[in-house]
Amino acid sequence: MLQIRTEFNATIAIVVMWVIILITSIPAYHGHDVVYYMHDGINKSSCVFFDMSSTLLFSYQLEFFLKAYVVPLCLTAGLYLLMILRLWRGVVPGGRLSAESRRGKKRVTRMVVVVVAIFALCWAPIQVRKQVLAEALVLHTQKRVLSKTKIRHMLYLLYFTLRSQDV
């Protein structure tokens, strides 16, 4: 029988993952630029969106939400589901499942469900908070409520600091 778990296959998987990560990061790279400005007589710089259109910001936020929360949650749940299915569908020597073995499988299943639920519940508030703050930034910027450069840069800094916490 061919082995799937080999060092060569692991290397291929790592390379493929890095390629996927780099390709999906291209829009974020092209959507940002470094802005230089003076603050209290000191030259400073910030990484900001160079196109503040609502479409670009919304697509960036959606992409980040998917990559930082939805995809990891779905991958974790899906891979754990495959593990549980393999556990329950496995052939038992002798053909009969003992009560103790059944209890063990139920405990493992319950533990996996709890782990996935805790992951979802713990990360959901952070993601919701980030989405709400990001939407507030977009609305303020579009309405030109923030006319002062200092306030705008502070909000950009807050926005990107909150985004960088997941990386």
Does residue 25 sit within a domain?
no
Average the pLDDT over each of 7-16, 78-87, 138-147 and give the range with the smallest value: 138-147
Does residue 143 sit within a domain?
yes
The distance of Cα 12 from the centroid of its chain, to the nearest Å, equals 23
pTM equals 0.62
Q: Does 143 score more than 70 pLDDT?
A: no
Number of domains in the chain: 1
- Beta strands (DSSP E) in 27-137 are 32-39, 42-49
State pLDDT tens for residues 53-86. 666 666 777 777 888 889 999 999 999 999 999 9
Q: Which residues contact 108 (CB under 8 A, 6 or more apart)?
A: 84, 87
Q: Does 25 score more than 90 pLDDT?
A: no
Which amino acid is it at 146?
L
- Beta strands (DSSP E) in 27-106 are 32-39, 42-49
- Predicted local distance difference test score (pLDDT) of residue 76: 93
Does residue 132 sit within a domain?
yes
State pLDDT tens for residues 27-63. 777 777 788 888 888 888 887 776 656 666 667 777 7
Does residue 15 sit within a domain?
no
